[in-house]
Chains A and B, each alone.
Chain A
């Protein structure tokens, strides 16, 4: 009883393992298509990897209050000048259905279907991430999710 009473969000934990699976899948799909579109837009010549997705805690150790799925990739070089990154990212993200706004110098944030896109760019490249909302799951489920190995997003390498 104590575990359910004092798990993440108490007894009212609103999400379960199937919710987590659906959220991960939805985030991965949105991330891989968006990353690829932005990569094409900036004529990417290289990525750090083919993209990776993982579960991260929400809240704070030692008592996290949920978990969210995070997908990331970085563009390491491209044939579009960095001074044009902002415009290209906005155009490509909006074409993918993201509602985009500035979130500081050289940073754009987009929102779509409960997901958050973040693009931070500079002279040497660009970080891209898509995050899900925080799922309200018990602590043992948070541990299980965050212990899972990272997923390969399979973003196609530049041709």
Chain B
């Protein structure tokens, strides 16, 4: 008798990512509800309004506040149910993968058995007896496996019934009121106060410990009540930070879009809305990217502060879950970086991550773009805040940013799961000065550091002021003018880390174009696809050591003046002067004080003065 193949389990009708996305929408609506309720409860009627009408209005406000509170409680219950459903889906998905593997393997053996039967000698009694025995064994295995498959199918059905029943349990006013008055209802405001105290204490490990003791309902209530606090708190699991920040982002977009449509947006709100939409668009760019091992969306919004830094905004996004990844890197971009610069910088991290992923065997990689400091801004399409620009010359923003970055990394370390991740900090341009300050002033907790296109390392005089020997890697293109600001003498932003006597491990970087009009582009080429610098940085992220090249020594490289003049001569003509002037301006943007030097260096070339 022919053996029956085992059927594959039914398709999973809802993916974890789809459930998470739906939950985000519910959570954002619940957050708006919670805000409205708190506002209603705290304001009441104005003191100047007295009399019967005032009393009647106050009574109405109280009643409405109670109804909104009931709705808020219902939303918390709904989110708790959906979160539990998401967890169940992940378990079901994992079990399904295992079943598919087993079914495929067993059906393959049945196919082999059938072929052996067809090819067997019917007169060979011994062979036929062996086949009968194989058939019995296979049938027994198939029956058992089919039972497992059927059980999985029933479990999926059961999970769906559970989530339906859970949501139906809070879909009436009475049920919402019941949830609101439940004795075990999570006190979100009190929890938020506790979390705020932990955050203010500056100890993300304490945050992580406290967080691990929360129940699912407390988590749901807290995220809905205070998404800004939860989303930006170091030590909170990255998955929850992402959920909270998406909640804030969606809620902001709803609210600010309405205000825009009503013609009520302030300038700051307009920038907030741009920042929120940019974060949403960047997340959307990666909606078709999953973690192949978990099936979850690969993008995590780890910081979301659209109103920070006078509207420049603060933001951080990771590709890959930094809590579970084996190799984690966090990139600090430099000049002109603000929240709306997220997309392009994430593209750079995507290229780096994919390359590192190919170098580290079975280890997983997460790559974070961190723009949560007030990077100097100037030039085309950027802030016109003059104070913002004036501060470019100094290290103040790098000092402040360094403290924020070190705190961020501490938070990532605290929420890390399993063995400690290998963590690499990367700073580009002014971001390298920021990362340097994080190390010298704030005990930055990373394993390796990469500085690229660096105008200076702040107060660090040698590599070991930043990292233990052998763990500071530097990339400086020969024709990147910004890297010459800190050499041969110390510049306004500190030492050039590519100098041989600084003691860093300098890796090879393509030298760049020797045309004056391309000099600043040389400063922005470190993450180019196929470049030697990208490959070297991927080595570091993957825990490997890139090839070393000689550091700069006097006479072995062109100083800034020589580079500007020399590349101008090579370029030739009237446009040269324009080029010198433009490049000088760009370089000045980079560190504030070079413009005069660059202009002086090029002035003799200008025959049109």
Q: How large is the interface on A (under 10, 10 to 19, 20 to 34, 35 or more residues)?
A: 35 or more
A-B contact count (CB 8 A): 154
> Are B528 and A127 in touch, CB under 8 angstroms?
no
> Are B289 and A74 in touch, CB under 8 angstroms?
yes
Could you name 7 residue pairs across A and B whose Cβ atoms are closer than 8 Å?
A10-B515, A57-B343, A74-B288, A77-B295, A104-B359, A105-B362, A127-B290
Asked if B517 CB lies within 8 Å of chain A CBs, one says: yes
A80–B231 Cα distance when bound, in Å, is 38
> Are B97 and A124 in touch, CB under 8 angstroms?
yes
Chain A residues positioned under 8 Å from B333 (CB to CB): 61
> Are B361 and A59 in touch, CB under 8 angstroms?
no
> Are A59 and B17 in touch, CB under 8 angstroms?
no
Given A48-B288, A62-B524, A63-B523, residue A76 in contact with residue B358 (CB < 8 A): no
Chain B residues positioned under 8 Å from A1 (CB to CB): 575, 578
> Are A60 and B528 in touch, CB under 8 angstroms?
yes
Q: Please list the 10 inter-chain residue pairs (A to B) with the smallest Cβ-Cβ separation, ordered nearest first.
A: A122-B292, A104-B358, A124-B295, A63-B524, A61-B344, A81-B101, A122-B293, A45-B11, A72-B288, A62-B336
Q: Which chain A residues have a beta carbon within 8 Å of chain B's beta carbons? A: 1-2, 5-6, 10, 45-46, 48-49, 51-52, 54, 56-65, 72-74, 76-84, 103-107, 118, 120-127, 134, 146, 150
Chain B residues positioned under 8 Å from A78 (CB to CB): 100
A140–B514 Cα distance when bound, in Å, is 24
A6–B405 Cα distance when bound, in Å, is 33
> Are A82 and B101 in touch, CB under 8 angstroms?
yes
**B527 in complex: contacting residue of A45, A59, A79, A120, CB < 8 Å:** A59
> Are B344 and A64 in touch, CB under 8 angstroms?
yes
A24–B517 Cα distance when bound, in Å, is 29
A46–B27 Cα distance when bound, in Å, is 26
Shortest CB distance A155–B (Å): 10
Asked if B357 CB lies within 8 Å of chain A CBs, one says: yes
Chain A residues positioned under 8 Å from B358 (CB to CB): 103-104, 107
Chain A residues positioned under 8 Å from B335 (CB to CB): 62
> Are B337 and A62 in touch, CB under 8 angstroms?
yes
Chain A residues positioned under 8 Å from B529 (CB to CB): 58, 134
Q: Which chain B residues have a beta carbon within 8 Å of chain A's beta carbons? A: 8, 11-12, 15, 17, 93-94, 96-97, 100-101, 104-105, 284-285, 287-295, 298, 333, 335-337, 341, 343-345, 347-348, 354, 357-362, 379, 428, 515, 517-518, 520-521, 523-529, 575, 578-579, 582
Shortest CB distance A147–B (Å): 9
Given A1-B578, A2-B582, A76-B15, residue A48 in contact with residue B290 (CB < 8 A): yes
Chain A residues positioned under 8 Å from B96 (CB to CB): 77
A123–B290 Cα distance when bound, in Å, is 11
Chain A residues positioned under 8 Å from B287 (CB to CB): 48-49, 52
Chain A residues positioned under 8 Å from B357 (CB to CB): 104, 107, 120
Nearest chain-A residue to B358 (Cβ)? A104
> Are A81 and B104 in touch, CB under 8 angstroms?
yes
Chain B residues positioned under 8 Å from A105 (CB to CB): 361-362
> Are B294 and A127 in touch, CB under 8 angstroms?
no
A51–B287 Cα distance when bound, in Å, is 10
